[in-house]
Amino acid sequence: MQQSELPLILYTHPMSRGRVVRWMLEEIGCVYETKLLEYGTSMKAPEFLAINPMGKVPVLKHGEAVVTETIAICTYLAQAFPAALLTPDQDDHHAWADYYRWLFFAAGPLEAAITDKSLGIQIPEERQRSVGYGNFEQVISVIESTLKHKKVIAGNRFSSADLVLSSYLSFYSQFGIIPANSIISDYFTLHKNRPAAIRAEQIDVALLGKP
């Protein structure tokens, strides 16, 4: 059986990072099943812990394969469904370098910096070398300087790296954690207005029972 023919199941909650994965699934345009879980109950039930011992969503099942961690899921789907063109051109090694760089940057420095910022954790200057990413301001400065002259982060077309990065920047700018200046907001607004992003948002809003 071809990968594209294997059943896809998204374990999620409409107020989780599962929204990022749903957008990815909508970009691919494949048929998938949604299984909704609740915090503190079904996410911690033995049946789900057997799938993801961390007891959190999102989780993707593709046939018998299980993928956890939002950015890992998006990276996996981009490779598993190449017809969706959510990776760089095959022979563009410069774009592939940027692609992997920014996926891992989002999963590492950006995620850590956002967590520190949201919890009010200030890294002392003398300890910044030991935390890897320095501080929140440095992380945001790197993103801004990169996006200043780019509409897409890797190569010459939208990829799963843009999906991930714009999702994070858009979400955390709502709460003032990330400064939504014109460089950042222009970038994520461009990509969040993609038809697949709008469809995904509508699905999760409906699952929350909102109008």
What are the tens digits of pLDDT across the range 7-63? 999 999 999 999 999 999 999 999 999 999 999 999 999 999 999 999 999 999 999
User: Which residue matches tokens 């996926």?
Assistant: 103
3-class SS at 151?
A: coil
pTM, entire model: 0.94
pLDDT in tens, 50-98: 999 999 999 999 999 999 999 999 999 999 999 999 999 999 999 999 9
Burial category of 111 from C-beta neighbours within 10 Å (exposed 0-12, middle 13-18, buried 19 and up): middle
pLDDT at 127: 87
Residues 6+ apart with CB under 8 A from 127: none
Q: Are 204 and 22 in contact (CB under 8 A)?
A: yes
Mean pLDDT of the residues in the chain: 94
Instruction: Identify which has the larger pLDDT, 4 or 77.
Output: 77
Provide the 8-state DSSP code for 6: S
pLDDT in tens, 126-160: 888 888 888 999 999 999 999 999 999 999 999 99
pLDDT at 2 over 90: no
The string of DSSP codes covering 45-93 is SHHHHTT-TT--S-EEEETTEEEESHHHHHHHHHHH-GGG--S--TT-H
In which band, very low, low, confident or very high, does the pLDDT at 211 lie, cut at 50, 70 and 90? very low
Angle between helices 18-28 and 195-207 (to 10 degrees): 130
Q: Are 135 and 128 in contact (CB under 8 A)?
A: yes
Q: Please give the Cα distance from 78 to 74 (Å, whole number).
A: 6
For the chain, report the end-to-end CA distance as a whole number of angstroms: 40
